[in-house]
């Protein structure tokens, strides 16, 4: 079970939002590269970057911060990025810059042809972020709910060849109210590709519950506000996950 620290980028700073609201941003670091190094030193095995400005603008906007993070991390661990990725040229630039995975969200829903082309052009590097509320997918920075069912869409994307799905319960994100285990497991059981849980991670109990369902295909979780405000100790969380799964690390 991977505990994946999130570094959300807004105006070159590391922030956290509540329920995706840009006006509800808390700045945690003015140096995202230093923040990346911190999580690496704490034992992170992957980093999750979100270009928040990019998500709203429809194209990456925090290239400077992303480049600095990649320079800091080097090839020590994989780094994935979401936010504003809408075309193949952008994906190519991201991968050439040193990112391991790109996350396609809104564009996957609005332009499935683009997602299909991306999976063909960059096999093994495409992750889809599905953000949902009450089982229905949201797009455009969570500002619009669609009529699309999460599981139906995920199955289609699996057929396209996506590497994994990040599933976010947007009603819980940034609220420290606990992962929506039931919905995450239901999605994972319907798929053969891995599912990464996101939204609401708050304490070690959540980690324990996730470890109990790892066999269903839930391979990791995105850790955000909880590891920044101190309600969850990242190092302890990864150690607990390793212990629960009998890992040697």
As annotated, the active-site residues are 8, 131
Give bridge partners of residue 164 from the DSSP assignment.
127
Please state the φ and ψ torsions of residue 11, each to the nearest 5 degrees: 55, 40
**Helix (H, G, I), strand (E, B), or coil: what is residue 235?**
helix
C-alpha 169/C-alpha 160 separation (Å) is: 23
Please report, for residues 102, 104, 112, 170, 195, the alpha-carbon distance to residue 50 in angstroms, rounded to integers and kept in the order given: 10, 11, 21, 15, 18
Cβ atoms of 116 and 107 within 8 Å: the answer is no
Long-range pairs of 147-156 with CB within 8 A, sequence gap ≥ 24: 148/109, 150/183, 150/187, 151/186, 151/187, 151/190, 153/108, 153/109, 154/128, 154/130, 154/187, 154/190, 154/191, 155/190, 155/191, 156/112
The DSSP symbol for 46 reads: -
C-alpha 196/C-alpha 45 separation (Å) is: 14
Decide: residue 203, CB within 10 A, 0-12 exposed, 13-18 middle, 19+ buried: middle
Cβ atoms of 233 and 3 within 8 Å: the answer is no
C-alpha 91/C-alpha 86 separation (Å) is: 8
């Amino acid at each position: 079970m991977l505990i994946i620290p999130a570094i959300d980028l807004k105006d070159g700073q590391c922030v956290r939002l509540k329920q995706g609201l840009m006006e509800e941003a808390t700045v945690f670091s003015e140096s995202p590269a230093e923040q990346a190094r911190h999580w690496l030193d704490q034992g992170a095995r992957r980093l999750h970057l979100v270009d928040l400005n990019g998500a709203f603008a429809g194209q990456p906007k925090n290239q400077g911060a992303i480049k600095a993070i990649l320079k800091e991390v080097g090839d020590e661990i994989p780094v994935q990025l979401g936010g504003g990725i809408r075309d193949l040229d952008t994906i190519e630039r991201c991968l050439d810059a040193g990112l391991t995975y790109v996350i396609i969200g809104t564009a996957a829903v609005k332009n499935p042809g683009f997602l299909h082309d991306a999976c063909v052009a960059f096999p093994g590097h495409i992750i889809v972020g599905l953000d949902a509320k009450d089982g229905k997918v949201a797009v455009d920075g969570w500002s619009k709910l669609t009529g699309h069912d999460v599981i139906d869409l995920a199955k289609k994307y699996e057929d396209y060849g996506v590497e994994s799905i990040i599933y976010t319960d947007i009603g819980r994100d940034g609220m420290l109210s606990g992962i929506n285990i039931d919905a995450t497991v239901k999605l994972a059981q319907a798929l053969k590709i891995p599912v990464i849980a996101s939204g609401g991670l708050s304490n070690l109990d959540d980690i324990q519950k996730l470890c109990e369902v790892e066999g269903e295909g839930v391979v990791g979780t995105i850790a955000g506000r909880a590891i920044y405000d101190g309600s969850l100790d990242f190092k302890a969380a990864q150690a607990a996950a390793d212990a629960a799964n009998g890992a040697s690390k």
